[in-house]
Structure 1
């Protein structure tokens, strides 16, 4: 009996020991697995965050680099005296550049001695020498391309935050040094961006040069830091220069971190992202603490704890997958935004090339063409096609920036014609009410964009009502207009298109953001946030305004204000492209075109048709020609997009000076025209044919002759 009892006691002891040892062993194994899993998840988070930071840095540096290149082209071939003579116009151009790029503090053009010829801050620029700055010295002896400097403090009388410079060398025609073009970049811009994306505890970001100079740091440092290229960080980067991962005590503050780094394309810049190892360990300890709390009561709960751990791991992986998808969408939208800024300029150059090709073909089809000229036009087509192929490789995505195609239409009739489509779109449980005027209310706008705006507002109302309620469309003459349109109210006034729903309403805190691209209050997958931004863009480009009034639980009312046109205005049909060219019969044309290829082909084509052509490459020379003898020109034909004074500025200047000569504008793309329209001037879109050009010039000149004859 005693033996049996002793055996029972021993068995109990072994069981007690086992009840302790087994959970401890399982806990140790689970701790090791969780430790590696937590570190793997942290590494993936760091890599995804690093991708976002890298894409952002690449976009910023490429945008600034491209802007420096454009500025260099603007002043190429200009002497310092010529630049000083244009200081006011160049100052405005630099200021527009810095105003459009929040990452820029200022932009400068220096002479060979380091004196500022032009800057974006003050006009005229104070006579201060900047030859001691690194962004200047780096270019004196040789052309090194784009240089990125160290953080600097503004020099009196200039004030403000610290900056680092990005600069390019200015060369003369013989390659000698004549100055520097420089942009001052805010480190704070990068740090603010890192603060937004670094929401995790212990987040870390750094932006630095390959020689170890840190340009931006998050968390922010109050002192300049330069890492030793031969130190621990430098040695690890040397093993994998393009990108890699390391765990190291960061020399700037001594905090141990898990850090990923990546070089920014061809620039001597590295961007880094990471997490403090203490924060990663805290995640692991928090996870294991939860396991421990549930693991202590008894061995019987071990399986439940393991199941809970498995479920938690699965949730973490699912959440990580959702975050990865969201981050990919974010990177894609950022890429679309950056490319959208490029598309306008590329489209303009591409249309110039198409104009050369079209004009060459037209000229090749003319009879009795000499072999020498025929070969010249063929060579021009070949060169233009090659350059166009290079441009098209830059169009990676659609920029969503296009000039509207306005036409005159009756708003009430157009809304009525959409009733069935809107009813189908909203569903049978939503009542569609239309209050339309008996009279014709005409507007001059893009009809397709107008219909899209109505559909977007109908869908927005349908979703706000959760598929049940009433949408009311009302068209009427505006009795009052918003303050932003008060100065635009003419003799014909505005028409309002009001869309009212009985939905849930919009919180007051969100009313100011509803027209922002990609902002939406809907669940993920139920909306892109682009519908109302399309409405806003269409109305603004059409010269109108959109307002919204909403109350929680009472629905929302969107009101579109569109400029009304007289009832007697009818849509005009353009002449078909196949219509024959009209002979010039000695008609004199002043052609203003900065692209020499487009200008030469337009001049050749018009000369073949009997026009007398005077060719200039900028608006200032055009004004000088008109001032010298305005009576010798029957019509002015000008490109819109030109350095300095644009074609639209030229047209306004001609009108302001009282010069009575018809004006025809041409453009493949213009940001100003896309926003504000052609301001009533005749517009010929690029690419155009010689026949189309002759018809529009003949029409403009003939209208003037008819008007002058009536006046006599």
Structure 2
């Protein structure tokens, strides 16, 4: 019980650990998978945004490039003087062109000395030099096509927003440098577009030159004065690979993708702050936690409550078991007191008869008739005492049974006349037995006693008048089915004893098999009859059941395991036969109680037996080993100090002394549990007639002779 409780508590503790460890493990796995999924989704979002801003930037630059080509076509055949002479209409033309393009702030035409000839911003153009501008110097020495300048701020008298330039070289037919055509592009135009598409938190867009100089950026930041070192990671701009980088401009870590505009030395980039991606992942995980933490906590609480409840129940169960043990101990003490009182009462009555008869036998000049009557009274009283002891042992399931195979139906039929005489003529006895034999392997004498006890109990319940039915029938199983490994192969034989008496009150049904429990008046019964039936049934591997209703009689059903076939005849009792003379048979008597031993040897000597008495098994072995041929049989008590009689018999068998052994015992727990091991057994108290017949059964023809032992000689 305690082992099972410890195992169940240990299981609950492991379940509590598992209720925490398993959700944590699942959460970690889910978090890992969600982390990768969130980053993959962010990468796809970045690539989609990159495609959008790339397409937008490409269209803007192509539009401005076409505008520069158109301006170049307008002034291609004009000299600087012609352009200056026609500045006003050209200014209007450039103004119209720049106003039609929201991304363009202004358009300019410069001569070879960096002075503006015409522009769309102001008329007339001021006389000032722009030789220091990067977009001018880039075209002086060589034709490089379209040049993207750095982000600049207007110089006086020009005002307005910052810009970056897109310029082309003007040259004569012989290829000599004649000036440049330049368009000022608004970074704000790109930033406003980026702001519209970058509504997600942490969005990032940028427009850079090939050397990393930022032209436009969202979110806005302070512009750099020159190229930003490693602002474009090596290799990332020429592949579809996304990189995680920390911007040198604002120090924010981002997941960024790069792509170059075709035919332009410009890169566009799109990205998301890693903090935003991480927050998205944490948001997803937190949704899991919203449901997972309460569920896990609830499970842990339930398991904790279950464990505490279980511990409480086990504590209560232990207390209840202690209380039940105390109650059972009290009941055992009460039953023991009742048993002791009942045994003392009955034995005192028997001893009173024996004592009175012995005192009367001492009186002189007793007539033979009275002397024989007193002797018969002593003999009958001893028989009654023996029966009382047998019933006590049967109830305690300590009676040494002598099982034999016999037909229950035939045995019940044989007891028909005895039963009718026992219950009286006013009770009708109806016996029903099956046509087929129903064999059992049990003690036939104990069965007959059990059947008589049930018949007497039925007679008393009917008040001497009614119907008594005894029914024998096969039964497949017990009323309470036994386990498969305990169930006999052929089932059981059920012997039902039915009466039409007053029945049994419900509050007494559970007590009717208790020793000395009886509802009869004093002197009407000992209360051991049903106890004997109960003990015989249990010791024979069977069961006893009862069904009763007050006023409707009762049915007692005895179940005994059924066996196949009969192995031998049913022996009749030995006490009723006349004693057999010894004819010189030599008997070694082993008995530790000297009085019992001497009474046995004296009785055997009266019948012509030759006896030798020893009081322990060790001396008996010495007698046998020193002169095996001196004895015909060994008659030994079972319960003795040191080596028991059964051990002595086994030792004689082991030494191959070829000596029959007869055991004698009033009670032995060894015999009750293990049987007689094949040796003949004579129960105490025994008569001289029983003893003589048992000895002649094991030694049909005496072979040896031994000198007789004087009755009063010392015992070894």
Q: What interval of TM-score do these two structures reach, taking the shorter chain for normalisation?
A: 0.3 to 0.5
Q: Which has the larger radius of gyration?
A: 2
Q: TM-score, normalised by structure 2?
A: 0.41
